[in-house]
Structure 1
Amino acid sequence: MPTARNDLGVSTMLRAEAVGVPGKRRFRLVVEAERGSAEVWIEKEQLSALALSLKQAIDEMGDRRPSEEAAPPSASAREPRFDFKASSLGLSYDEAAGRFGIQAATPEDAEAKTATLVFWVTRDQAERMADEALEVVAAGRPFCPLCHGPMDPDGHLCPMSNGHGPIDEHL
């Protein structure tokens, strides 16, 4: 199966965003880098896991801080532009450069080409994005205290309550 790899290089801007209203939100990473830009559409759980993984890696690094330089803005930062639906995310760290690598891949399909998108972020960018991502994730619907599923504003029929009425968030 052929694979297309798109390396955007070092990020000049990275944001985590949610689009839509709670319960119907879609999540994305918006990145501008030295060799292009992208909107990487991911699941809420993927965004949360990426943010927590970055936080953990940064905590484990402690005070070790290599020199951090984002890529200089360039005229080519707008081309090419990718609109990318990721089925999986990967995280790496280049100790020599002091940068995190984020890799997004499309779903594997026996007949289709698998595409990969890679970009690099500094520790400061990673830390800001992780904080932003956790805020975005937390701004959605509250979770049921019994089944941990999302609760709608008008209540939640929880399978753990055996059908004994709706559960509200004030439990």
Structure 2
Amino acid sequence: MRQLHVFERPTRFVAGTVGTPGERTFYLQAVQGVRIVSVALEKQQVVVLSDRLEQLLDEVVARTGDEQPAAPSDNEALQLPVDEEFRVSAMGLAWDGDSGLVIIEAQAPVESSEEAEQTLLEDVEDGPDALRVLIEPTEARAFIERARKLVSAGRPPCPLCGQPLNAEGHVCVRLNGYHRNVTLNT
């Protein structure tokens, strides 16, 4: 049986992390009253979600002409407890023109990509667990700002290959073994 966590206009919807740079676990967290749902995802999924969310909002503005600035920033840590409901495999975005809300859905892994397509953003009884959040465009803009700050707060990229640099450096594939380590200049 599918467990669908639905939050319509939650008091809080954010991306956040637990851990230190290089060892962080990324989460999406929705909060409404005492109800907290946290799902784990990859850093790159946070990047893609914020980029696609911005594209969706820009398209809505282009069609409606209704520009909405970001809500006030939420810079607080994830709300405790951070209990992982599932690890995100697929995500979907939609615009509900009737309510004027952005719909974001994060879904648990499934056996096949076809199965994910059939259940993503759908109200079906069988399928993978999912977190569905409906938020105002202003809240979506605030989500984007926070997500981008969160991602950029990690380890700096190697100037040659773009991979994250550890304090000890890393073996850079662009140097073809000529130099063993590329390190941070601090």
TM-score > 0.5 by shorter chain: yes
1:52 partner letter: D
- Sort the Cα spacing of 1:58 and 1:102 in 2 relative to 1 into closer, same or farther, 3 A: same
Structure number with the higher strand fraction is 1
Aligned equivalents of 1:15, 1:47: Cα separation in 2? 10
Local SS of the residue matching 1:114:
coil
- Which residue pairs with 1:168 in the alignment? 183
Identity %: 29
- Which residue pairs with 1:54 in the alignment? 53
Q: Structure 1 residue 164: deviation in Å?
A: 1.7
Instruction: Determine whether 1:127 maps to 2:141.
Output: yes
Q: Structure 1 residue 85: deviation in Å?
A: 2.0
**CA deviation digits over 1:4-33, x for unaligned, max 9?**
433233322112211110100011111124
Q: Structure 1 residue 34: deviation in Å?
A: 7.8
Aligned equivalents of 1:84, 1:124: Cα separation in 2? 27
Given that 2:8 and 2:134 are in contact with CA atoms closer than 8 Å, whether structure 1 keeps it comes out as yes
Given that 2:40 and 2:84 are in contact with CA atoms closer than 8 Å, whether structure 1 keeps it comes out as no
Aligned equivalents of 1:140, 1:59: Cα separation in 2? 27
Local SS of the residue matching 1:91:
strand
Unaligned regions of 5+ residues in structure 1, if any? 67-80
- Which residue pairs with 2:85 in the alignment? 83
TM-score, normalization by structure 1: 0.78
TM-score, normalization by structure 2: 0.72
- Which residue pairs with 2:108 in the alignment? 106
Q: Structure 1 residue 35: deviation in Å?
A: 10
Local SS of the residue matching 1:142:
coil
- Which residue pairs with 2:72 in the alignment? none
Aligned equivalents of 2:105, 2:93: Cα separation in 1? 6
- Which residue pairs with 1:139 in the alignment? 153
Q: Structure 1 residue 149: deviation in Å?
A: 1.3
Unaligned regions of 5+ residues in structure 2, if any? 69-82, 113-126
**CA deviation digits over 1:120-139, x for unaligned, max 9?**
11101111011000000000
- Sort the Cα spacing of 1:8 and 1:36 in 2 relative to 1 into closer, same or farther, 3 A: farther
**CA deviation digits over 1:36-94, x for unaligned, max 9?**
4311211100011111111222233254159xxxxxxxxxxxxxx97332112111111
